Structure 1
Amino acid sequence: MALNDHDQARLQQLLAQVAERTDNFLGYPVAKDFDYSELIPFLQFPLNNLGDPFADSTWKVASREFEREVIAFFAEVLRAPQDNWWGYVTNGGTEGNLYGLYLAREMLPKGIVYYSQETHYSVVKNLHFLGMRSIMIRSQPNGEIDYDDLRQVMHMHRDTPPIIFANIGTTMTEARDDIRRIRAMIDELALAQFYIHADAALCGMICPFIEPRPPFDFADGADSVSISGHKFLGSPIPCGVVVAKKQNVERISRSISYIGSLDTTITGSRNGLTPLMLWYRIRSLGIDGIRARVQSALKTAAYAEQQLRALGADAWRNPDCITVVLPKVASALKEKYQLATANGITHLICLPNVSQAQIDHFIQDWQHFSKAGH
């Protein structure tokens, strides 16, 4: 089988567009410094990790062994309870968050979900899917949840178990909700039943390598954590990981006879390539390589903030974050660098692939458009 000349030309045109647009973007949390060419031979096989990654199946064209190693890595990094963790490779952060909320609903069907106004837009959709009661909590100016408002609202509903949806890196400002503080608040209110899910889409691979370590994982009180694979680590296919306490997952699992496996995930058929990519990335980088990526990104973010402030820009970032926040920029600048803008602010995300030279080019353009009054 072969494409005709017209269709071949369209593919080449798309390839050129994608290459050019990938070079320019600075506004979205997607790492692009990866090379998975060694995995190209696997594209000729229908890799499908259907069912539970920790259960056998009659379907054998899969990468479950590698997926299990990926989950074990994340469980260790996230300080999950020994012998009481489970997880799988998802299609991305939205699915991981859906899974966390699904577990919470099954455990606490009468619970109320509390989330801040800076929570990702997909969470409201997930809550609608699941038919869960929820209350939006105010956010602080930096994007972090307003703890006083959360405490007051939980106190008003003390007869109902709280389900906390915590942001470990909000979309626009990378603000992190303090799970240890929230857990202490729950204990202070003497709330016996509760569930805490951490949406660590971007920061799940940053926070474990920062000193002091931000309070965001299982050791700090989380019951489940969702991380995106294509954001900080980098992947050509959107993907992620969700890790949860095994004892909670066992409450929802059921056996499916015709695949010879357990139904514990959101989707039936699951991508078998993305677990292989995450495994390859983790093994090739190692802990020291990931730590170096974090430090490099933080250094670039500090440089961008300092250079912009030196030129009079009202630039800022949350502590130990790679997101630099600016007042809304000119439309032409936003288009060129594909910058996310909302509520009067624009941000740059200094992932490890972003160099100081790229920041310098952006600042030159920012000065030009600022002077031109665009």
Structure 2
Amino acid sequence: MMNANPLSAADTAQLEQLLLQIKHNTRNFLGYPVSKDFDYTPLMPFLAYPLNNLGDPFVASTYSVGSREMEKYVVEFFARLFRAPEDDWWGYVTNGGSEGNLYGLYLARELYPKGMVYYSEATHYSVQKNLHLLDMPSIVIRTQPNGEIDYDDLQNTIRMNRHMPVIILANIGTTMTEARDDVGRIKSILKELAIRHHYIHADGALSGSYSAFLDPRPAFDFQDGADSIAISGHKFIGSPIPCGVVVAKRSNRDRIARSVAYIGSMDTTITGSRNGHSPLFLWYAIRRLGLAGLKERAVHSLEMAAYTTSRLKEHDIPAWRNRDAITVVFPDPAPAIRRKWQLASEGGWSHIICMPNVHRQQIDQFISEMTTAAVEV
């Protein structure tokens, strides 16, 4: 342990104040897709070590202080959940959904350097930044009222550019309304237009984590036509550190892989040094919950979303949600309510996301405060 002076009284007080603030703010937020019902206390001893999964998780490195075995387990778990090709899958634990989307687009660009990217106007804000970083041309497609991509506009736009390879970023749960783009329908459009060269990346940041447990199962995974899928780990599953998982076809990854002597591994990921603690958290959660536990979380969230929608309508608030979505959309409440409950708002609409930690008492309290504030105004 390095020699160091203890924190001053002022610094200690600042830390204590920050902790109180975080505890208070965590109790109240309903507007963002972050699960907070986790307990990783048994993993605390690992924080004493510099876990770094640098390089490819499936290739050994000369740096051996990491959680590679856990990371490989996590990737395989989601590869199977997303029905990836039995002998042609690969992936790694990312810093979050945005990095997973960047990786999917990166693979697509290397596969089709002259491809055109299509994505809907409801796509996450980070995608435009990723396209700028990768210098990829793109066209924005209209959305339907529920936030799902307009398939007619997509088909007509691709038809006008059918001489170019097609790269599509499909939303498996948009930011505001959690609308899912139908990957199977998109694949049918490409077939109808005889587009041979194409790549579909599915952004499943929130919804992709539990869509496999829905009945009927939405068309979003590899068997439906996706070439890569990205999810967030800190959303539906829950983690103290933002993280995610990207799963892609190994044959496409091979196009960008190169050996790096310094680390004794392959350079196949976006970042060099990679957080080795996040795979540990995800491994622990998956091992504890299993498929049955994850499905139970999904069922609870869906029931809470139905309850929230019903309760809001009882108060004549025109709330709605997409089919099998845990996001409930309604007109903006009073500013003080939006601030206290940390609601995301856009175009006069706000939403509540019924994560696994949300319960009826919390929803009842929110609706009581919201309706009271409306009467006072």
Q: How far off its partner does 1:310 sit?
A: 1.3
Among 119, 129, 134, the alignment partner of 1:130 is: 134
Q: Verify: 1:338 aligned to 2:356, yes or no.
A: no
1:228-247 correspondence runs (5 A): 228-247=232-251
Q: Please, which runs of 5 or more residues in structure 1 have no aligned partner?
A: none
The runs of at least 4 aligned residues of structure 1 exceeding 2 Å deviation read none
Match of 2:175 in 1: 171
Deviation at 1:121, TM superposition (A): 0.4
Kindly report which structure 2 residues correspond to 1:79-158, keeping only aligned pairs within 5 A, or say none: 79-158=83-162
Partner of 2:258: 254
Give 2:68's match in structure 1, choosing from 64, 70, 73.
Answer: 64
| 2:322 aligned residue | 318
Counterpart Cα distance in 2 of 1:372 and 1:130? 50
User: Distance in 2 between the 1:97 and 1:255 partners?
Assistant: 24
Any stretches of 5+ residues in structure 2 without a counterpart? none
Equivalence for 1:180: 184
Overall identity of the aligned pairs, in %: 61
Measure, in 2, the Cα distance between the counterparts of 1:370 and 1:134. Answer: 43
**1:281 paired residue number:** 285
Deviations 1:71-115 (A, max 9, x none): 000000000000100000000000000000000000000000000
Aligned length: 373
1:299, CA displacement in angstroms? 0.4
Counterpart AA for 1:343:
G
- Name the CA distance, whole Å, in 1 between partners of 2:167 and 2:281: 33
Q: Provide the C-alpha distance between the structure 1 equivalents of 2:47 and 2:35, rounded to a whole number of angstroms.
A: 22
Aligned-residue offset at 1:328: 1.5
Deviation at 1:366, TM superposition (A): 1.1
Q: Is the aligned partner of 1:351 residue 2:355?
A: yes
The separation in 2 between residues aligned to 1:245 and 1:330, in whole angstroms, is 47
Aligned match of 1:271: 275
Output the TM-score relative to the length of structure 2: 0.98
CA distance in 2, matches of 1:225, 1:344: 31
Compute the RMSD of aligned alpha carbons.
Answer: 0.5
TM-score by length of 1: 0.99
Alignment partner, residue 52 of structure 2: 48
Q: Distance in 2 between matches of 1:119 and 1:372?
A: 36
- Structure 2: how far apart are the matches of 1:363 and 1:45? 45
Residue aligning to 1:14: 18
Q: Counterpart of 1:88 in 2: which secondary structure? A: strand
Distance 1:15 1:60 in 2: 33
